[in-house]
């Protein structure tokens, strides 16, 4: 997934409210749908933040959906239709906005907005996560084999203090900011050539305290909870 990850450390003793996935936990079983689209529109700019890459959509909503690109003027252009249980990748750029709507002609919930997503900054905060033991992989820096699918990530440190970035393979952590002596400094950007499915951890360079975890994962299109569905058809 084409993203820019901003590392934000909260003030001492303070934590942020985060989604369960930010601490490596399973997502909530259901979610409330946005009942109206925001005013967000695509704004890629002359120089995208990171290289062109892919968005991966998975339809877990139980109904067919349309996936649309939102232009700068707010108009929506359908780029794909996706049946329940299927997965689709679409090229993307940082700054783009995408919307997913239910496709149920003749049904009261036809065109209901299920998901709105802007490609770009994913804020990493001090999420008061459980603190898994830090296990260093203790191996040389990984070199990508030629032909590996490319889903670039750019990390940017807004923490005000140095941070270390790690790739977590499920067993141990491998430093990916090894060339940033003393850690990734405040306001410093660290681009990474990554691949969909990789999981990254941001830790304090001083204490190895885990701030947040982020996985380059599918954008899962989920059904609305019952309360939201009832409100939408009133």
How does pLDDT run across 114-146, given as a tens digit for each residue? 999 988 766 777 788 899 999 999 887 767 677
State the Cα angle at 76 between 59 and 105, rounded to 5°.
55
Of the listed ranges 12-21, 54-63, 122-131, 133-142, the least confidently predicted one is 12-21
Residue 163 contacts residue 204 (beta carbons within 8 Å)? yes
Residues in the chain, overall count: 234
Helix (H, G, I), strand (E, B) or coil at 232: helix
Is the pLDDT assigned to residue 47 strictly greater than 80? Answer: no
pLDDT band for position 1 (cuts 50, 70, 90): very low
pLDDT band for position 226 (cuts 50, 70, 90): low
Burial 182-221 (b: 16+ CB within 10 A, else e): ebbbeebebebebebebbbbbbbbeeeebbbbbebebbeb
Distance CA 13, CA 149 (A): 40
pLDDT for 33: 64
CA dihedral 72, 76, 80, 86 (to 10 degrees): 100
């Amino acid at each position: 997934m084409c993203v820019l990850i901003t590392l934000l450390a909260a003030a001492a003793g303070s934590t942020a409210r985060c989604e369960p996935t930010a601490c490596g936990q399973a997502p909530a079983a259901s979610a409330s749908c946005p009942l109206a689209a925001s005013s967000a529109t695509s704004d890629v700019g002359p120089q995208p933040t990171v290289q062109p890459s892919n968005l991966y959509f998975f339809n877990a909503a139980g109904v067919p959906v349309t996936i649309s690109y939102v232009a700068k003027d707010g108009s929506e252009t359908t780029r794909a239709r996706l049946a329940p249980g299927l997965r689709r990748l679409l090229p993307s750029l940082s700054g783009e906005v995408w919307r997913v709507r239910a496709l149920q002609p003749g049904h009261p919930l036809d065109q209901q907005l299920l998901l709105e997503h802007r490609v770009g900054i994913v804020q990493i905060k001090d999420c008061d996560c459980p603190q898994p033991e830090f296990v260093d992989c203790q191996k040389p820096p990984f070199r990508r084999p030629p032909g590996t699918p490319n889903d670039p990530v750019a990390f940017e440190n807004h923490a005000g203090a140095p941070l270390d970035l790690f790739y977590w393979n499920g067993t141990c952590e491998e430093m990916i900011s090894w060339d940033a002596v003393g850690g990734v400094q405040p306001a410093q950007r660290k681009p990474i050539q990554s691949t969909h499915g990789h999981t990254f951890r941001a830790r304090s360079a001083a204490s190895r305290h885990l701030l947040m975890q982020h996985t380059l994962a599918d954008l899962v299109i989920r059904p609305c909870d019952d309360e939201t569905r009832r409100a939408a058809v009133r």
